[in-house]
Chains A and B, each alone.
Chain A
Amino acid sequence: MIEKSVRELSADLHARRVSSEELTRHFLSRIARHDGRLNSFITVCEEQALAAAREADIRLAEGRAGPLTGIPYAHKDIFCTEGIRTSCASRMLDNFIAPYDATVTEKLRQAGAVMLGKTNMDEFAMGSSNETSYYGPVRNPWDTERVPGGSSGGSAAAVAARLTPLATGTDTGGSIRQPAALTGITGIKPTYGRVSRWGMIAFASSLDQGGAMARSAEDAAYLLAAMAGFDPRDSTCADRPVDDYVAHLEDDLGGLRIGLPKEYFTGDLDARVGACIEAAVKVLEGLGVVFRDIHLPHAHLAVPAYYVVAPAECSSNLSRYDGVRFGYRCENPRDLEDLYKRTRGEGFGAEVKRRIMIGTYALSAGYYDAYYLKAQQVRRLIAADFRNAFEEVDLILGPTTPAPAFRLGEKVDDPVTMYLSDVYTIAVNLAGLPGLSAPCGFIDGLPVGMQLIGNYFEEARLLNVAHRYQQETDWHRRRPPGFD
């Protein structure tokens, strides 16, 4: 059951060969059995999941079911879920029971998907290793001494360990693609504006984007199709129809032009990762894809620009956590200033505080032009690089991360090194483009991911290429040892 694709599970559910309740119990029991080693869930919603499964079974029986009806999924704890704690992995929201559903939560419920629980993540999605969570780090199922990546590390680990067929994620600088790469699964961050941000707790509003995480591109296509679409409650959401991702999965790749950015294959890249990408190029060439080298001349500016823009927005977005209306409040505040200082001092972890301080500094009078405004200019240059590239090629391919999963604690005291693990993914967010990571090999038993970058709203193309690649390879079918 755990190796079946969403399409196969859905067929079984529709044919009544299995009930959603059975399927849900099965995954709940896997969570109970295995998650002690991974810590991928913050909250497991057994009761609600079984109720939703029974409801799905009724819909299936009455013929009111879609492809996701009755299929379990895990929800990143950044999406608001009415009546269920939505913590963002922060002490600040440890007591926060959301009074409303995120649009994504609502859409998945309408699709009949069954939420198993809320997954662990870096605090407020700030981190690349899942070590900043108030609920403790998530471990990589391929080696529990290593990180699963972040910030959607809980979702990635849970999918990789087959604790759930599907999981949601969010991606501000690589938070879907990087953990997908480090855990050997498939993750897609769609175009900015494709998935509603309503009810998705903000880190950096102009970069945050929800997306899908699954074992295969095909499964991800089903999940993303249910999440995507216009939402009038999000002013930055794109008002345009959603392509039929599933229908395009089998499209022929003959003559497709894919660019390989010179700047992504330099000395910073682990040569063994480079070799995996080269092998993937060969597979795709066999499918008729034509490769050529391209240039993204401002690629080296992506990380510095990002670490101005994202902290600047976060410093403002996180101001609402002040102990006045909801969330954590310090004990016995003496006065207003004490309330603010201790609530925020005690409620936020170190990485969140670091970014709030960087962002506050970058927006301060006298520094705004030198930092924030300059970073926005760089952002436009980076977007222009991609625009130029897409005049020559249809897609871009490169590594998702410079190296496979690192050890827990290895980079936690060196933020800049940690930030560089997102060196290939960040530019995609700055430009607002869609990006996908799919497994393309192993190094010493650790998964390696390749990243596909498309032009705006080219999600269907990304999923199509990844799916055709996955028909030729079995990297995505490998299961971490010890999670039978």
Chain B
Amino acid sequence: MEWEAVIGLEIHAQLATKSKIFSGASTAYGAPPNTQACAVDLGLPGVLPVLNREAVRMAVKFGLATNAKINLRSVFARKNYFYPDLPKGYQISQYELPIVYDGWLDIDLEDGRTKRIGITRAHLEEDAGKSLHEDFEDMTGIDLNRAGTPLLEIVSEPDLRSPQEAVAYMKKLHALVRYLGICDGNMQEGSFRCDANVSVRRKGEHRFGTRTEIKNVNSFRFVERALRYEIERQIEVLESGGAVVQETRLYDAARDETRSMRTKEEANDYRYFPDPDLLPLVLDEAFVEEVRRSLPELPDAKRRRFMDEYGLPAYDAGVLTASRELADYYEAVAAACGEPKLAANWVMGEFSAYLNRDGLEVPGAPVPPEALGRLLTRIQDGTISGKIAKEVFEAMWDGEGDPDAIIERRGLKQITDTAAIEAMIREVMAANPKQVEQYRAGKEKLLGFFVGQVMKASKGKANPAEVNRLLKRLLQED
């Protein structure tokens, strides 16, 4: 019997505002505990929330970028529950009327097809603080620095059918929020978190199965693994005649399994009601239009443009537009060398490999795009070969400076002087009479051997095309 998974994701993206969503305290990460929690964040008696307009602008940006509708009147509600890191005993969120609803995003499937994933809604809310269980014996520490940090909770439709699709969707969203500059996407610091709802059903069945929610899976890899585990688990339960229990589960990465956290019966009744301290959020069309005009070029549009403008294959365009930083870097390299395809190969090849090796992000790369562009120009104009260029690039990465200076200093300039190359060829032929004889007898594949010997003799500096041309003539000649 074939099973099908039904997955919906709830992504919490921390909005990159300078101050909190309802107070003036800073949102900077990593400060000593409770140094960035003001009276409002602490929930002191008598304090009141004031909405951060920048967070609203960011939410609208997201809505416009996901083809969603913007609610010109949205309402903040209180979600009531007790927890030590929730200072007021309620979280201010949006419930019945979210600011963004009914959008979509296209994801690319592994077989090359595109699939449209619905976005049910995206709403503004405040984050809670952190409970620190590790550092205190038999006690819990509370750090309220994060309390009141603005979040955009992005809820997808249950349109995803596999862990791979879920990850593709999550990556697409991750790239998008960073493109928009509304979230730094730092998953280790919790700026981009994911809860996954998953159920399984027999293929062809239209009704949904009972779902479980997996909380707080904070990397692409863990989302995929947690979903794969949970889908297997649910199938096993059903195939052995059992029933899936609606519950919240926690993914344990160390054991690679999900565990029950609380069942539906234990779930809180959040007693949502409109927050009387905040008036309904009313926006006008002019504001929405102003935000629309401020939108940057979005990943899908940029990808199409890379294909049209630079003649790149879809795959290359997709890789290069995966992040705004990489796309910008690529465009600067291409502009500097005037060779978009060569630039694409190098940015996706050497450049990305070195970033990976050193665990760096594009903005932290030691080679600026203009420098890489100059290096590629040197391949173009025949000053160096592609192979030598890799050596130069390594030197540039290690901080040895400009490509021309490195070529000069290391004497890497390509030998194009016909006489010099001829001399080297004659030496090689003289040293390998047997091979010369065999070549002349018709064993033409020995040409590669001669090329290798000549290149070796030139320490790689001989122009390979020239070597080829001359070798053929000289081997023929005598």
The chain A residues found within 8 Å of chain B, CB to CB, are 79-80, 86, 88, 93, 96, 98-100, 102, 197-202, 204-206, 232-236, 312-313, 315-316, 318-320, 322, 324-327, 336, 340, 360, 363-365, 368, 372
Contacts and interface: CB of A to CB of B under 8 A. Distances in A.
Nearest to B269: A365
Contact of A205 (B44, B87, B277): B277
A469 to B, nearest CB: 34
A264 to B, nearest CB: 27
B279 A235 contact: yes
A301 B449 CA distance: 101
- B50, B89, B271, B278 interface centre (most CB from chain A within 10 Å): B271
Interface in B36-52: 39, 42-51
Interface in B1-60: 39, 42-51
B276 A320 contact: no
Given A319-B89, A324-B142, A364-B271, A235 B84 contact: no
A86 B44 CA distance: 11
A40 B251 CA distance: 58
- A204, A233, A313, A316 interface centre (most CB from chain B within 10 Å): A316
Interface residues of B, number: 28
B46 A198 contact: yes
Contacts of B87: 320, 324-325
Contact of B45 (A96, A324, A336): A96
Nearest to A234: B48
B377 to A, nearest CB: 57
Contact of B48 (A197, A324, A360): A197
A98 B46 contact: yes
A199 B40 CA distance: 10
- A313, A320, A327 interface centre (most CB from chain B within 10 Å): A320
B46 A199 contact: yes
Given A205-B276, A206-B276, A319-B88, A198 B48 contact: yes
A316 B81 CA distance: 9
A381 to B, nearest CB: 18
- B43, B45, B82, B276 interface centre (most CB from chain A within 10 Å): B45
Contacts of B47: 198-199
A325 B43 contact: yes
24 contacts: A80-B46, A96-B45, A98-B44, A99-B39, A100-B44, A198-B46, A198-B48, A202-B45, A205-B277, A206-B276, A232-B50, A234-B50, A235-B48, A235-B50, A236-B278, A316-B78, A316-B80, A320-B45, A322-B84, A324-B142, A325-B43, A326-B42, A326-B45, A327-B45
Contacts of B78: 316
B273 interface: yes
The 4 closest A-B pairs by CB, nearest first: A319-B89, A206-B276, A205-B276, A363-B271
Nearest to A318: B89
A102 B46 contact: yes
B46 A364 contact: no
A360 B46 contact: no
Given A99-B44, A201-B45, A320 B273 contact: no
Interface in B350-381: none
A79 B78 CA distance: 24
A340 B82 contact: yes
Given A235-B51, A324-B142, A364 B269 contact: yes
Contacts of A201: 45-46
Contacts of A315: 80, 271
B222 interface: no
B90 interface: yes
- A235, A313, A315, A365 interface centre (most CB from chain B within 10 Å): A235
Given A79-B46, A320-B88, 17 more contacts: A80-B46, A96-B45, A98-B45, A98-B46, A99-B44, A200-B46, A201-B45, A201-B46, A205-B276, A205-B277, A233-B48, A316-B273, A319-B80, A325-B87, A326-B44, A336-B84, A363-B271
Contacts of A360: 271
A79 to B, nearest CB: 8
A372 B273 contact: yes
A319 B44 CA distance: 11
Contacts of A372: 273
Contact of B273 (A100, A198, A312, A327): A312
B269 A320 contact: no
A363 B90 contact: no
A368 B273 contact: yes
Contacts of B50: 232-235
Contacts of B46: 79-80, 86, 98, 102, 197-202
B463 to A, nearest CB: 72
Interface string B258-297: 0000000000010111001111000000000000000000
B45 A80 contact: yes
Contacts of B89: 316, 318-320, 322
A197 B45 CA distance: 11
- A102, A234, A322 interface centre (most CB from chain B within 10 Å): A322
A316 B46 CA distance: 13
Nearest to A86: B45
B219 to A, nearest CB: 30
B227 to A, nearest CB: 29
A93 B142 contact: no
A197 B277 CA distance: 9
Contacts of A197: 46, 48
B45 A319 contact: no
Contacts of B88: 319-320
Nearest to B80: A316
Interface in B69-109: 78, 80, 82, 84, 87-90
B126 to A, nearest CB: 14
A236 B90 contact: no
- A198, A312, A327 interface centre (most CB from chain B within 10 Å): A198
A326 to B, nearest CB: 7
B234 to A, nearest CB: 27
Contact of A320 (B43, B48, B272): B43
Nearest to B34: A325
Contacts of B49: 235
B443 to A, nearest CB: 84
- B46, B82, B88, B272 interface centre (most CB from chain A within 10 Å): B46
B96 to A, nearest CB: 11
A201 B39 CA distance: 13
Contacts of B269: 364-365
Contacts of A318: 89
